[in-house]
Structures are given as structure tokens and as C-alpha cells.
Structure 1
């Protein structure tokens, strides 16, 4: 299922060279989180999305590998991503359920960029908390629903303010829905500057896709392809169709197995 009107995004090696080290991003989460419970929820979600993003990128590269050999630099970026994931979830990351389906990309994908983008994408959600889990709110944690849509832009501006590159900040800005357009912003009267908030690289698009499989509800919840399709359809059938096109492109995770894996390792705090 392919929509020819949708541009096929590519890996941009120059932009990806400006991405931060894993340790910088980990420190950013720690210094930004207003409470331990906020950190556990938002950082935990980012760990899940970063891992799924890496899985998708790696899976697509393996599909491409059958046709053309990946360069040594791409292989090194894959090893770097895997070493970071091991630090987060341990050596048993190899037990992650595989991605099924998908299509080979036109060129190799930077797996580290997809991973670190997943770790960065929701940094702005620390700034849309109604109750931040601190003692001031008796430990209660909740989001400011009407302003939640601002989390991408707030994260983008925050990352730039903290000295991160434009390329890094775009992972926060460009992951909402299945690619938020200026027309949708205007039509839905969203509290955002009227502009496009769509992924600019294939790695940004992968993070956007991965993000749809896990919500920051309390407790966190995993969504199947069909569950998110129904959610996307609330904003128009075009959104639902676009979601299915993205799944066709990048493959489908085993959501039940992922939930078992991560609920035991990352989200046990909430259960």
C-alpha cells in the first residue's frame, strides 16, 4: 500500500553527525524531570520508543542488506546503538520480539540516529505536566490535556536552548501523529504556529512511527496497529490510511510480546 504523493525520506549523514552522545541525553532527562515519577514515566517511554526505533531501522537495514552491502560507517552506527540499548535494558535486548514485514529502504538507515532520536523525542512532555509528581502535588502525576499538543514544540525549543543541534531538536518537533501539516494545524485550530511538523529524515519518520506503539498513560499502555488506526481515524480517514502506509513501509512489531518485555523491565514501577 503506497501513497505516491508522500515523499520517500532519506538518511542525511551530515545532519546525523550533529546528534548528541547517549550520556548527554541521559543526563538531560535526569536534570529536566521534576520528580522521580515523571522521570520513570517519560524516560521509560523514551527508552521504549528508542528501542523500537532502533529495531525498525535495523530490520529495514537487514532487508536492504540482502540487496546491497551496508557501509562500515552504517555498521558502526548500528553497533553504537546496540551498546546504548544494552546499557538501558541489559544484554537480553536480543530477546526483543522481531519486526515483521516492511520494505527495504532505498539507502541504509542510521540506526544510532533513530535510537537517539527516540530518546529525545518526548523531552518536551516534562513541560506539559498538570501535576508533576512532586511533593507539591502529593506525588500525583498527570498531563495538561489542552496544552499537550505543545510538547513537541516546547521540546524543540528546550533542546535548542540547551545547546543541542537543530537536527537533534527536530526529533522533538516532528513526531506528532502521522505527520502534522500546516493545513491540519489551521483546520483544527491547534495552539501551534501554523506550520508543517512533519519528519524531515527517514530516522525522524521512524521515531514518529515507533511513538505510536506506546502511550504515556498511567500505567503505560502499548497499542496495536489496529488500535492506533482507530485513533488516527478520529482525525480523518486520510490519517488512518497514512498510518497503514507507514506500517507497510517499516513493518509491524509484536505488540503483545513487547508489552511483556518492557512491562517487566521498564514499567514495573507502575504495576
Structure 2
């Protein structure tokens, strides 16, 4: 596998080790009236399909919830993640099986690039405006050796430019991206009970962020179909989409809200081994 191919795959597939955990930072806009038992359901039914889908993610911010997400590559599990959100606090635990890329591509890699394709584990905690990140496995092995297995990297969210951070690590904030995708859907139609389908245009703002991460252009990307299911109160229940084909491999992303109203006891890590996030950027090779 060439260096260019590997770099493009990492950019497109090493999905948001950072951004996936920042669900609570997705929007400051007030949610539309889509919640509240039967009243919420009635309000949702009065919205057009386009409006109902656009409002579905924002409404989750009114309560705590747990979301399971996954990305498959040619049907193989590439990423699995669980996110818990409670008020302004959030926690996300993610495992990425980089070996799935190798199996799906059927290619061998240069031994010097083997570290890029080691399986990785990340955990992100957002508490009181501070984000804590822990990384292990794969490309992060050297950092674990240097800082210790209990090391956490911190970032003051109030003073941070997230867009610049994501640009540096070749990633996107999938939380904000999810909401942006729902708002960017075109030709949204109701295709079943609480089920909607829409098209995400190749030149939409949401797709531009994916393209920037992977190095692709709008001309290389096709429109994709997204299926969205809402619960009885008009809140997002699940979203399934086929991501743009990368290097001949087909990816599918699924996010499912598995619980609302839970108590997740989200707190800062019980570790004194804390480091500024700039140490991560400086030591990760990004």
C-alpha cells in the first residue's frame, strides 16, 4: 500500500478520534419544539419532512442520552463507539480496527507504515468546559511509552478553535457533522412510520468537510442517500448512510440512540498524569 493511499485512508477513515466525543458541543441554537411526550409527537407531525429531520438532533440536547455508532468497511467492523451525554458533559469510548482496512483492501503495507494500521482505542471526556483525551494502540503506542498508559491530554474548550484542531489532525467533528448532514439533506421524503430518506449532495457543506479530510474533491464524490428514523417524540433514533467510496472500499456509518434520560455520572479522569493537548499534536505525528 502506497504512502498516498494510506494517508488518504487515514484522513477519511480514522474518523474523529477527537470529534466523535464532543457531542455536547454540537450546537448553540435552540431546539425546535419536538419533545414532550404526545405533545412532542404532535409537534413533529406538523413539521415538513425536511424540518422534522433537521430538528431531530437538536432536540436530544434537552435530555441525557446514550448513542452507539459504528462504521463498517466492506461489511467489516472498522469503528465502534458509545457516547454518553448529560447536560454539557459528555463521554465517548471508541475502538478502531485499522486492520479492517487491510483486510478490505487486500493489500500489504510497507513495514515502515505498520504503526498506522494498528488497532486503536480512544476515550474522550468533556466536563465543565474542559476536554480530556486518552489514546492508545497503533500510531499512539509511542505516546503511551513516553507519557504512560494513564496519561490524559486536556484542552480548554472555551479557548480552543475546534475547526483548526480538526484540520491539523485530518478529521472532522462528527457530532456537529451529524447535525450539519441532517440540515443539509435535500429531497427529504417520508418513507415509513417515523422514517425519512434524503440525499446528501456531493457539493454540500457537510460533504466538503469529509472531502477535505480525505483529500477528495466534489467531482470525485457522488451524492449519497441517508435514512433517518425518529422516535415517537420526533427525536433522532437512528441514522444510516453510505459514505463516499474511498480507494475502492465501501463504508457505511450507523448511529443509534439507545437510551434517553439516563444518569451517566460523567466526571473528569481520576489521574494526575495530565498534559496540555499541544503535547498530543506535537507527539502524534500530525
TM over 0.5: no
After TM superposition, the score normalised by the length of structure 1 is 0.29
Whose strand proportion is higher, 1 or 2? Answer: 2
Whose helix proportion is higher, 1 or 2? Answer: 1
Larger gyration radius, structure 1 or structure 2: 2
After TM superposition, the score normalised by the length of structure 2 is 0.28
